[in-house]
Structure 1
Amino acid sequence: MKQQGDVTLAKSLGSFQLWGIAVGLVISGEYFGWSYGWATAGTLGFLVTTIFIAAMYVAFIFSFTELTTAIPHSGGPFAYSREAFGPLAGTVAGMATLIEFVFAPPAIALAIGAYLNVQFPAIPPKLAALGAYVVFMALNIVGVRIAATFELVITLLAVGELLVFMGVVAPAFEWRHFAAAGWAGQSSFAATSLFGIVAAAPFAIWFFLAIEGVAMAAEEARDPHRTIPIAYITGIVTLTLLAFGVMLFAGGSGDWRSLSNLNDPLPQAMIRVVGQSSSWLHMLVWLGLFGLIASFHGIIMGYSRQIFALGRAGYLPHYFARLHPRFRTPHIAVMAGGFVGIAAIFSDNLITVGGSSLTAGIVTVAAFGALTIYIMSMASLFRLRRSHPAMERPYRAPLYPFLPAIALILALIATISMVIFNPVIFAIFVAIMVVGVSGSVRFRHRHARISAGSSQAA
């Protein structure tokens, strides 16, 4: 029987379950969020943005997998940056990861509420979002194997539903719809300028955001040297194909402008093809919820492991590293991140973020966190190749150093462009990072003093 002080996570996840986590973490991005990019860049402009971002993610995942298999730690980028550059860098990467994974769930929960509201108009979206938090925090506390199996099942249903959506709207697809002019005579390139194409970056990132979260399940993976590369590579291929398929078919099925500022673009796209009363629509709403739930559930798993890892290492109060005595899951960490998310949900429509809606602002803040992780992870990969040449690397990044360099350069370009077009949101992100890193450094020093005192007493 495990001792109460034990903070070792159980190893129970295989490659198929890890693929379910990889795709499930992200797949809600195919259901909502990305269509805000049409309002910014038009359909053709956003297509260019998405091609750029997809290239960045493919290069990143093929390189990031080397770190995940060499250092299978629940802290993910936190552990890689700490190993490569020291405690302060680890703190920065850990806080950026935390921002990405804590800020993304409220946006997804609000989309769950919007989807349910289509089927049941009497249910307030925020109440449904709150219910989602309660249910899936509980499921994550019950056990990782149950949670991962649930994640796999709903991810398979969500992938199947996206294929059904594309099949149903395909007969209505016309390129002239997709390439139609925008508002006030603008072209679908948003007045043919680079402004919209660059400014739409966070919404293209939303197509792929959080796939790196598999790294936070690495400590719970069976044979991570073999299972993680399989999960990551098949996962990024799956998500890339789905992203382009959904975007093209939704935009080409009618007037794309009517979908560009919605939390439920796919049901609305299907309504204009099959009608409000079609059974296809009801199926999409119900099964579409599985896509949102898959990401919501998976990201709760991700943020809880990140909080747990930071608490275990002394970068957050140690009680965040407590495991449930029966289920061996980080229950305190699950509830802590949920508290922040629920507070964000009930702030929707009360505040705006940098002139954007709360949902769009949350997406952008999460994207800043993600890009920070990508830059630090690729820098860590280069540093560890030099400083730890003998480190066991069961998987090596192909085309090294060119592929990791491509991922790093594209992430830097995306970050700079987002800073230029979202200065207020970037300032908010930096402020949260400064507060988080300062507090984490303080906790780490306190933890070190307590540990030193305990050693001397012994």
Structure 2
Amino acid sequence: MSNSSSHGLAKSLSTFQLWGIAVGLVISGEYFGWSYGWASAGTLGFLITAGFVALMYGTFIFSFTELTTSIPHAGGPFEYSRRAFGPTGGYIAGFATLVEFVFAPPAIALAIGAYLNVQFPALDPKVAAVGAYLVFMTLNIVGVQIAATFELVVTLVAIIELLVFMGVVAPGFSVANLVKGGWSGQDTFSAASIPGMFAAIPFAIWFFLAIEGVAMAAEEAKDPKRSIPIAYIAGILTLLALALGVMVFAGGAGDWTKLANINDPLPQAMKLIVGENSGWLHMLVWLGLFGLVASFHGIILGYSRQIFALSRAGFLPAVLGTVHPTRRTPHLAILAGGAVGIAAIFSDELFTFNGQTLTANIVTMSVFGAIVMYIMSMASLFKLRRTEPGLERSFRAPLFPWSPGFALVGAVVCLITMVYYNPLIAGVFTGLMAVGYLYFLSTAKRRSGLLTAA
């Protein structure tokens, strides 16, 4: 791997900044997206779905950390799978990760637009979403140290705001509100509730989606073998606590059915308690943007490193694998991913189907990429344990093989369920993978030389 000025990333990230990235990448999932799961599973059914997904993520992160610290590479899952299964394995994991990280930002950008629309009804949410892209692509190009510091600050503000939300709605919380019709719209559990719980899996995953993106900043960490495990473990515990609190307090604030299938459930939940003219509500809308911005900004950092790594290895056009001569950031990769995201924002005809909104379907598309990547990563862990027993592992997955085994089985269950309930999106995902594979085959000669030098 070249360390020249055109291909080297700056090593400047501390443990605290990596924790900020880990939480910031995901924290928008506490602000929106998850409530779409209520439409399928109800509040109680979704709690069970979210519990299963949380257990899967917990075991996954503890296992994934072994890979991240053993192979600190900007490509993250792409590099682990390439090392375990060769170029084809690398392509599958790299494509899946790219879909996850390129399709998550437009969903978040649309939520940013929805939040701003609450304050400025005349502002088109899509125009606001494009504006968010332009601002935060620029910030990511300026420099990783500045970007990571900004990420840490907005993440801390976002956490404080979620705690404020819970405190404001707590006086009006009612268990009766939370449990009413809480099993797929029924007051009592029955066999008919189970399909809705499975259908809600993508929106439970949205609570934790992209935390693995810290792996893509591994090359820029000062001490990745020490700091990444701390960042991951502290990050997943932070997110678990926030996800549970947000779900329970929002569901108990009033008629939770009014919060399903919308992009701004927290302001609407608070409105049920304090009224639409309360200063608390306006504060939540403004400060709530910090949570969305934290994830949006962090995932831009993540997708740019994935595009950069894939390009540097010959899986994407070489021009995307260069860094800015003075800023040492992958500026062209940032712009390329942004162009795809902006196109997705205006892709109503492509992504509005299956009875779901544009945002819900973009979220599901991103989750498809994540789940395939999780499967490839856990399979890589098992393969590398067998084929490279001497690989330096400063952190080893606890309870091996049971912990990564559960993560692998859980991810497979999620994938099968998602294909069953979202066949059209699964078809789009598979079609894009097939087109990408044709490019992968056509660039084999160029890639063979690069792989030797990497």
When normalised by structure 1's length, the TM-score is 0.95
Once residues 450 and 372 of structure 2 are traced to their aligned partners in structure 1, the CA distance between those partners, rounded to angstroms, is 31
Q: Do residues 186 (structure 1) and 181 (structure 2) align? A: no
Q: Which amino acid is 1:45 matched to?
A: G
The equivalent of 1:400 in structure 2 is 400
Residue 421 of structure 1 and its aligned partner are, at CA, apart by: 1.1
8 Å contact kept, 1:314–1:447: yes
CA spacing shift, 1:287–1:349, aligned 2, 3 Å: farther
Percent identity between matched residues is: 67
The equivalent of 2:259 in structure 1 is 259
8 Å contact kept, 2:45–2:183: no
Q: Which amino acid is 1:253 matched to?
A: A
Once residues 126 and 185 of structure 1 are traced to their aligned partners in structure 2, the CA distance between those partners, rounded to angstroms, is 32
The equivalent of 2:81 in structure 1 is 81
Give the match's secondary structure for 2:180: coil
Give the match's secondary structure for 2:12: coil
Residue 192 of structure 1 and its aligned partner are, at CA, apart by: 4.2
**Alignment RMSD, CA only?**
2.0
1:35-434 to 2 correspondence within 5 Å? 35-181=35-181, 186-187=186-187, 192-348=192-348, 351-434=351-434
CA spacing shift, 1:270–1:433, aligned 2, 3 Å: same
Residue 312 of structure 1 and its aligned partner are, at CA, apart by: 0.3
Once residues 183 and 374 of structure 1 are traced to their aligned partners in structure 2, the CA distance between those partners, rounded to angstroms, is 29
In the alignment, structure 1 segments of 5+ residues that lack a partner are none
Q: Which amino acid is 2:72 matched to?
A: P
Once residues 3 and 131 of structure 2 are traced to their aligned partners in structure 1, the CA distance between those partners, rounded to angstroms, is 34
CA spacing shift, 1:77–1:353, aligned 2, 3 Å: farther
8 Å contact kept, 1:41–1:188: no
1:282-337 CA-partner distances (Å, limit 9, x unpaired): 11001100000000000000000000000000111100011111101000000000
8 Å contact kept, 1:161–1:284: yes
Once residues 125 and 54 of structure 1 are traced to their aligned partners in structure 2, the CA distance between those partners, rounded to angstroms, is 31
Q: Which amino acid is 2:432 matched to?
A: I
CA spacing shift, 1:188–1:358, aligned 2, 3 Å: farther
Residue 63 of structure 1 and its aligned partner are, at CA, apart by: 0.6
1:151-192 CA-partner distances (Å, limit 9, x unpaired): 000000000100000011011111110111279973375874
Give the match's secondary structure for 1:394: coil
In the alignment, structure 2 segments of 5+ residues that lack a partner are none
Q: Which amino acid is 1:114 matched to?
A: A
Q: Which amino acid is 1:216 matched to?
A: M
8 Å contact kept, 1:45–1:190: no
Residue 354 of structure 1 and its aligned partner are, at CA, apart by: 3.8
Residue 193 of structure 1 and its aligned partner are, at CA, apart by: 2.4
Residue 116 of structure 1 and its aligned partner are, at CA, apart by: 0.5
Residue 418 of structure 1 and its aligned partner are, at CA, apart by: 1.1
CA spacing shift, 1:229–1:182, aligned 2, 3 Å: closer
8 Å contact kept, 1:130–1:342: yes
8 Å contact kept, 2:308–2:321: yes
Q: Which amino acid is 1:221 matched to?
A: A
CA spacing shift, 1:189–1:39, aligned 2, 3 Å: farther
The equivalent of 2:445 in structure 1 is 445
Moved more, 74-83 or 348-357: 348-357
8 Å contact kept, 1:22–1:213: yes
CA spacing shift, 1:444–1:355, aligned 2, 3 Å: farther
Moved more, 439-448 or 114-123: 439-448
Residue 436 of structure 1 and its aligned partner are, at CA, apart by: 1.7
1:113-148 CA-partner distances (Å, limit 9, x unpaired): 000011111211111101000000000000000000
Once residues 298 and 70 of structure 2 are traced to their aligned partners in structure 1, the CA distance between those partners, rounded to angstroms, is 23
Question: How many positions carry a matched residue from both structures?
Answer: 452
1:412-447 CA-partner distances (Å, limit 9, x unpaired): 111111111111111111111111232133234334
Give the match's secondary structure for 1:209: coil
Give the match's secondary structure for 1:304: helix
CA spacing shift, 1:315–1:351, aligned 2, 3 Å: closer
Q: Which amino acid is 1:92 matched to?
A: I
Give the match's secondary structure for 1:86: helix
Once residues 190 and 442 of structure 2 are traced to their aligned partners in structure 1, the CA distance between those partners, rounded to angstroms, is 47
When normalised by structure 2's length, the TM-score is 0.96
Residue 5 of structure 1 and its aligned partner are, at CA, apart by: 5.7
Residue 377 of structure 1 and its aligned partner are, at CA, apart by: 0.5
Give the match's secondary structure for 1:73: coil
8 Å contact kept, 2:313–2:451: no
8 Å contact kept, 2:165–2:284: yes
The equivalent of 1:30 in structure 2 is 30
Q: Which amino acid is 2:346 matched to?
A: F
8 Å contact kept, 2:117–2:125: yes
Q: Which amino acid is 2:413 matched to?
A: I
CA spacing shift, 1:109–1:398, aligned 2, 3 Å: same
1:62-121 CA-partner distances (Å, limit 9, x unpaired): 110000000000000000001111111001100000000000100000000000011111
